[in-house]
Amino acid sequence: MILIDKENIDFGMILSQHALSKTSFRKILIEFFYRSKHSLSVEEIISNISHPVDKVSVYRALNAFEKNGLIHKVPDKANLIRYALCPSECSSSKHLHNHAHLLCSNCNETYCINDFKIPIVNECKGFVINNLKIILEGSCIDCQQSYS
Ligand SMILES: [Zn+2]
Ligand SMILES: [Zn+2]
Ligand SMILES: [Zn+2]
C-alpha cells in the first residue's frame, strides 16, 4: 500500500497531470476515489457525491479518467461497472495492470491489492495479452465486523 498524505493532495494538479479538464465536479470525483477504501460503482458515486450532477456527466468523466490512466475498471460480482484508482505510474499510454482484486461475497465491494502482482508471462501460445485478471473472493473487514 502506498501511503499518501490525503489531506494535502492537489486534485486539480492530478487532473492536469493526466491531461483532464479541471471542472469542480471532476475534482470532487477524483477526491472521492482517493478517499474511498474500495472501488466505486456509478450508482455509489451518484448517491454519495455532494455535487448536483447527471448520470451522463458521471459516465463521461469516468470514461475520460479511464482513458487517461487515472482509474481502471475492476471486476464486480453483479456485473456493474466499477472503477478503482490506478497506481500512480499509469498514464494514457501505459495502463496495463497486473495486480489482483479482492471481491467481497457479502457486500460485493471490490478492492485492489497492489502488492499482489500476477507474474508477466512472455510466451503464451502467441497470444497478445491485454488484460490480466486474478480475483480472490471472501469477506471484507467491514463485513466480518458486522457479523460479530
Ligand atoms: Zn491504470
Ligand atoms: Zn464486504
Ligand atoms: Zn485494481
Distance 104 CA to ligand 2 centre (A): 5
Distance 136 CA to ligand 2 centre (A): 13
pLDDT greater than 90 at residue 66:
yes
pLDDT greater than 90 at residue 6:
no
CATH pick for 11-147 out of 1.10.10.10, 3.40.50.1950, 3.40.190.10, 3.20.20.100: 1.10.10.10
> Tell me: the pLDDT tens digits for 92-105?
998 888 899 999 99
Domain ranges of the chain: 11-147
Euclidean distance between the first and final Cα of the chain, in Å? 27
Helices (H) and strands (E) in the chain, counts: 5, 6
Distance 144 CA to ligand 1 centre (A): 30
Specify the pLDDT at position 2: 47
Taking CB atoms within 8 Å and a gap of at least 24, the contacts of 47-53 are 51/24, 51/25, 53/25
Model-level pTM greater than 0.75? yes
Closest CA to 110 of 34, 28, 41, 39: 39
Residue 56: pLDDT band (50, 70, 90) is very high
Specify the pLDDT at position 147: 62
Residue position matching grid coordinates 497506481? 87
> Tell me: the pLDDT tens digits for 8-37?
789 999 999 999 999 999 999 999 999 998
Ligand number, closest to the Cα atom of 39: 3
Specify the pLDDT at position 3: 47
Specify the pLDDT at position 5: 60
